[in-house]
Amino acid sequence: MKPSNAPGSTGTVLVWVEDYPSALPLLRMAKRKARELGVGWEIIHVSTSVYRRHELEHEASQALSTLALAEQMGAKTTHIIAKSARDGVAKLIRDRAQSDQPIQLLVLAKREINGLKRFIRKSAVDYFAGLRDLPLPLRILAVEGSGDVVSPAPELFNLFKVSLLELINCIMAVAVATAIIQMLDLLIPSTVSPQDYNKPIIYMIACAFAAGRYGLFAGIFTAIVSFIIYNVMYVSPDMHLAITSTTDAVNLGLYLVAALVISFFTSQTFSQREKYASRAQRTHALFQLHRVAMDYRTRAEAVEALHNELTGILGSDVIFFLPSALNPNVLEPAYPKNIEFAPREQEAMAACWQENKATGLGSLYYTDLSWRFIPLLTSQGEIGVLGVRIEDATRFDIPSGRLLNAIGDQAALIIERFELGQLMEESRLREEREKLRSMLLSSVSHDLKTPLASVIGALSVYQTMGTNLSEEHRQTLIMTALEEAQRLDSFITNILDMTRLESGGIDFRKEWITPDDIFRKVERRMKNRMRNHQLIVSLPPEPNEISIDPSSAEQVLQNLLDNAAKYTPSGTQIDLRAYPDGKQYVIELRDHGDGIPADKLGKVFDKYARLHKADSQVAGTGLGLSICKSIMQAQGGRIEATNHPDGGAIFTLVFPQWRRKRDTSVESAA
C-alpha cells in the first residue's frame, strides 16, 4: 500500500512510538489525523545505544514489526541514528521545518512521570513543546493510554511486593544460618569466636539467598532480621538488643550496609530472571496461540480453541466479544456465551470497543474492576474485545499487562485471518457461481437455441410447403425436427441431472444386470445418432452381471457414445468392449478420432469443459462427461480417460461388483 499523501498537500503527520507492543492506537490516530488534514503521515524509528545488550534484539524485532504494520496502513517510514530517541525526533523536526514537507503534527503517547523522575526528566510532551529553534510552533497530540500499562498497585508497593510465605521462608533462612553457627560453635569453637567475622558472613549468605530467591525486599528483610539476631545473640552479653561501644556500632553498621548491598545486587539477578520468565511466558503463549490457530478451519472453532488455550495459560476466566452478524456495531459474547457482567463491567467493555483502548484493571479507566478488557485491533480496524478476569490484583504488574496486550494483538490477527479466509472463500464461491452461470447462459443461448431453431425451421417449412414437397423431403424435415428435438431433450436432461446429482436428489437403486442388456438398450436408443458411425460391441464368452443402477448406467453409456459421435469424423468406427478384470468389471469405449489433447486430460470431466477450439461450434452443454463421472463415483465406481497409442480416445468404466450370471456368489472389490 502506498503512503496516503494527498496531491498538492504540504506537511506531514509524524508518529513517534516509544512502546512498540502497544503501538497500534498511535498508528490509527496518526492515520486519522493525516486524513483529516489532507497530508501524508510517517513513523520514525531512532536507533540508539541506550538498550542493554540482552534487550537490543528484542526491541529491534518489535520495532520492525511495528514499522511493517505502519507501511501496511499507508505510512512512510523514516529511520535515523541519534544519541537518544528524543534527540533523533527533534533533529527530524528541525530538518523538515526547512523543507517543503514540515511536520504539522507530532503524535506520541501520553506518559506520566512519577516519583523522583519528575525532577530529573521532562515528559515527552513538555520536551517537544519546549523546543524554541523551530520556525513554526509544533502541534503535539498526546494519546492517552496508548503506550503504558498501569500497575493497579502503588509503585512503592510493587517495589516491596512479597508474600507472607516468602517472609516466613526468609526467617527460616536466618534460623538455618543461626543453626549452622551454633553447630560450628559446638564442633569447632575456634572458627566462630566472637573476634572472628564468620558469623556475619554466614548471615550475609542467608541475605543473598533471600534476595536472589524472592527479590530486594526479601533481602532487606532478611538483613534486618539477621542484624537483630546477631546483635542479640552474639554482641550483647545480656541477650538483648544493645550497642555498648562505638566499635560495636561501627561493626554492626558495616554489617548491615554490607548485607543491604549484597541484597541489592543479588536482587538484580532475581529481577532479570523475572524479566526473562515473563518474556518466555509471552513467547510461549503467542506460540501456543499460533499453533492452535493452525489446527482449525472456521472462526468459531478457532475462538473456542483460543479461549481454552488462554484459560490454561493465564489460569483466569477469558471471554471473547465479537460483533453481531445482524448488527456489526453491537458486540456479543462469542465464547463462552454464559458469562454475566455487572452494569459497570458492561460499561467498561463498551468503552473498550467504542474508544479502542484498554479498560478495567491495570488501565487508566474503570480501574476498580477485576476484569481487564483489551481491544482486538488490526490494521483494518477493531474486530472485537478480549476480556480477562484478574484473580489477584496485587500480582498484576506492567509485564503482565504487556503480556495481555501481546496476546490480544495475536488473537486479533488470528481471528482476522479466519475472517479474511471466509471472505476469500465466499468471494471464490461467488466467482465460481458467476462463472458457471455465464457458462450455462452461453450454453443455453447457443447450444440449446441451435437445435430449437432447427426444429422450428423444419416444421415451418413443412407447414408452408408440405403439399408441394416430395415424400422424401417431407420425411427429411420430420427426421430433422425429431433428431433436433431429441438432442434438445438430451441437453435439458443433462442440465437437470447435474443439478440433481450436486444436490443429492438422485436415489440410485442397484440391481444385477448383464452388460449386453445395457448395450442393446443404448444402441437402440442411439440408432439415429450413430447412423454415421459403425459401433462394434465385444463381450466375453461367458455372460456376467454387474451391480449398478440400470437407468444411470444407460445414461453413462449414452453420454459417452454421444460424445464419441460428436467429436469423431463420420464413417469412423467406435469400439465398445466389456470384460472382467480380477475383482472388478471393465467397460471400454474407444473412438478413432483425434483424441484428447495431452494438456486437457485432467480437465475432460470438468463441468462445461470444451477442450478444442471447434467445441464452440459443436452443440452441447459440456456436462455429459461430468455427469458420467458423478454417476460412477456415487455408485462406488470410477471413470478414466486416456488416449490410444494408435489414435483416438479411450473412456474406461470400472464397476466394483460383478458375478457370473449363473453363480450366486459375489466377487466384490475390497
* Same-domain check for residues 19 and 71: yes
* pLDDT band for position 654 (cuts 50, 70, 90): very high
234 φ/ψ angles, rounded to the nearest 5 degrees: -120, -10
**What's the chain's average pLDDT?**
75
* Same-domain check for residues 652 and 518: yes
Per-residue model confidence (pLDDT) at position 618: 44
User: What number is the average pLDDT over the span 440-467?
Assistant: 74
| Rg over CA atoms, the chain | 42
Is residue 390 exposed (0-12), middle (13-18) or buried (19+ Cβ within 10 Å)?
Answer: buried
| H or E element, residue 373 | strand 371-378
418-425 LR contacts (CB < 8 Å, sep 24+): 418/293, 418/298, 418/299, 418/302, 419/299, 419/383, 422/298, 422/299
Inter-CA distances, 518 with 67, 384, 558, Å = 70, 62, 10
Residue of higher predicted confidence among 121 and 453? 453
Residue tagged 448488527 (cell numbers): 327
Per-residue model confidence (pLDDT) at position 134: 67
Per-residue model confidence (pLDDT) at position 552: 84
- Is 292 part of a structural domain of the chain? no
User: What number is the average pLDDT over the span 100-112?
Assistant: 78
Decide which of 406, 425, 444 is a domain's last residue. 425
Look at residues 122, 280, 382 and name the one whose alpha carbon lies nearest to residue 373. Answer: 382
Q: Side chain identity at 670, as an amino acid letter? A: A
Q: Distance between CA 220 and CA 205 in Å, rounded?
A: 13
Inter-CA distances, 155 with 114, 116, 160, 167, 394, Å = 9, 12, 9, 20, 11
> With left for phi above 0 and alpha for psi between -120 and 50, is residue 588 left, alpha or beta?
beta
pLDDT at 419 over 50: yes
* Same-domain check for residues 616 and 657: yes
Q: Distance between CA 405 and CA 403 in Å, rounded?
A: 5
Give the Cβ contact number of residue 81 at 10 Å: 10
407, 316 contact by CB (below 8 A) = no
pLDDT at 587 over 90: yes
* Same-domain check for residues 532 and 664: yes
Per-residue model confidence (pLDDT) at position 586: 93
Q: How many H helices and E strands in the chain?
A: 18, 19
pLDDT at 152 over 70: no
At residue 536's C-alpha, the angle toward residues 533 and 541, to 5°, is 170
Strand positions, DSSP E, 171-211 = none
CATH number at residue 397: 3.30.450.40
Q: Distance between CA 374 and CA 408 in Å, rounded?
A: 6
Per-residue cell: 273: 530472571
Per-residue model confidence (pLDDT) at position 501: 66
- Is 456 part of a structural domain of the chain? no
* Same-domain check for residues 518 and 651: yes
* pLDDT band for position 666 (cuts 50, 70, 90): very low
Q: Distance between CA 64 and CA 560 in Å, rounded?
A: 61
At residue 61's C-alpha, the angle toward residues 55 and 66, to 5°, is 125
* pLDDT band for position 554 (cuts 50, 70, 90): confident
User: From edge to edge, which strands make up the β-sheet containing 573-581?
Assistant: 534-538, 573-581, 584-590, 649-655, 638-643
Residue tagged 422424401 (cell numbers): 472
- Is 135 part of a structural domain of the chain? yes
* pLDDT band for position 650 (cuts 50, 70, 90): very high
* Same-domain check for residues 161 and 108: no
List pLDDT tens digits, range 189-241.
776 565 556 777 888 888 878 877 777 777 778 888 887 887 777 766 555 55
Could you give the percent of the chain with pLDDT greater than 90? 5
* Same-domain check for residues 261 and 321: no
Enter the pTM of the model. 0.44
Q: Side chain identity at 340, as an amino acid letter? A: E
CA dihedral 154, 157, 162, 163 (to 10 degrees): -60
User: What number is the average pLDDT over the span 296-323?
Assistant: 79
* Same-domain check for residues 19 and 115: yes
Give the Cβ contact number of residue 82 at 10 Å: 16
Per-residue model confidence (pLDDT) at position 631: 84
183, 191 contact by CB (below 8 A) = no
CATH number at residue 26: 3.40.50.620
Per-residue model confidence (pLDDT) at position 542: 87
Per-residue model confidence (pLDDT) at position 153: 46
362, 158 contact by CB (below 8 A) = no
* Same-domain check for residues 114 and 165: no
Per-residue model confidence (pLDDT) at position 574: 92
* Same-domain check for residues 591 and 662: yes
- Is 243 part of a structural domain of the chain? yes
| H or E element, residue 84 | none
150, 361 contact by CB (below 8 A) = no
Residue tagged 428435438 (cell numbers): 485
* pLDDT band for position 99 (cuts 50, 70, 90): confident
Look at residues 596, 599, 508, 600 and name the one whose alpha carbon lies nearest to residue 556. Answer: 508
Q: Distance between CA 590 and CA 536 in Å, rounded?
A: 10
Per-residue model confidence (pLDDT) at position 119: 54
Residue of higher predicted confidence among 317 and 670? 317
Inter-CA distances, 631 with 209, 551, 655, 657, Å = 78, 11, 11, 15
User: What number is the average pLDDT over the span 98-107?
Assistant: 83
Rounded to a whole number, what is the distance in angstroms from the first to the last CA of the chain?
A: 56
Per-residue model confidence (pLDDT) at position 60: 57
| H or E element, residue 156 | helix 155-159
For every residue of 239-267, DSSP letters joined together read: SSS---SHHHHHHHHHHHHHHHHHHHHHH
Decide which of 122, 144, 166 is a domain's last residue. 144
Domain count, the chain: 4
List pLDDT tens digits, range 16-73.
887 655 677 778 788 888 888 888 899 888 877 544 444 444 455 567 767 777 887 8
Q: Distance between CA 667 and CA 670 in Å, rounded?
A: 9
List pLDDT tens digits, range 459-498.
888 888 877 888 888 888 888 888 778 777 766 776 676 6
* pLDDT band for position 135 (cuts 50, 70, 90): low
Q: Side chain identity at 138, as an amino acid letter? A: L
Look at residues 17, 119, 155, 116 and name the one whose alpha carbon lies nearest to residue 75. Answer: 17
* Same-domain check for residues 68 and 134: yes
Per mean pLDDT, which range of 283-292, 421-430, 573-582 is the poorest? Answer: 283-292
- Is 481 part of a structural domain of the chain? no
CATH number at residue 528: 3.30.565.10
Residue of higher predicted confidence among 206 and 242? 206
* Same-domain check for residues 164 and 240: yes
Domain hosting residue 118, numbered range: 12-144
Helices 550-567, 471-503: crossing angle, 10 deg rounding: 120
Per-residue model confidence (pLDDT) at position 236: 64
Q: Is the peptide bond before 336 cis (omega within 30 degrees of 0)?
A: yes
Q: Side chain identity at 582, as an amino acid letter? A: G
Pairing type for strands 584-590 and 381-389 reads unpaired
Decide which of 404, 425, 446 is a domain's last residue. 425
- Is 488 part of a structural domain of the chain? no
- Is 87 part of a structural domain of the chain? yes
